[in-house]
Amino acid sequence: MTNTETIAAITDVVNTYATAMVSGERAELERVFFENSCEVGHYEGELLWNSRDAFIRMCEEGADKQATAWWSIRSVSVHGDIAVAHLEDEWAGMYFDTVLTMLCHEGAWRVVSKVYRIKTGRG
């Protein structure tokens, strides 16, 4: 993969993550998250540490099929077959700083972990 192809593939994972999270599309989230991946952050003052399946269930329960996903990549760092994408995104009326760690395995980039913080708004 060239650098341009790598960034395009990572951007595609971010797009799939953001749109499938908003719409609650289990199959798409399972495709881009490794089975043993996790989601970690503070929610309402408590540490939330979800398995991939718990995260996906939460997305399904909060799904809004009419909503348009909003997301913006702030930075991407790639080192061989590992990458970190820092993005801003929106879900269920909340805005987040999200960091996705990824691994390219068998030719496909997939999420190893999602770490987030809730923000007061976009930007």
Mean pLDDT, the chain, whole residue set:
96
Asked if pLDDT for residue 26 goes beyond 70, the answer is yes
In which band, very low, low, confident or very high, does the pLDDT at 1 lie, cut at 50, 70 and 90?
Answer: low
Output the domain CATH number for residue 79: 3.10.450.50
In which band, very low, low, confident or very high, does the pLDDT at 121 lie, cut at 50, 70 and 90?
Answer: confident
Helical residues (DSSP H) of the chain, grouped into ranges: 3-23, 26-32, 52-61
Total domains present in the chain: 1
pLDDT at 112: 99
In which band, very low, low, confident or very high, does the pLDDT at 6 lie, cut at 50, 70 and 90?
Answer: very high
Give this prediction's pTM.
0.94
3-state secondary structure 71-84: EEEEEEEEECCEEE
User: Domain limits at 67?
Assistant: 3-119
Mean pLDDT confidence for 49-57: 98
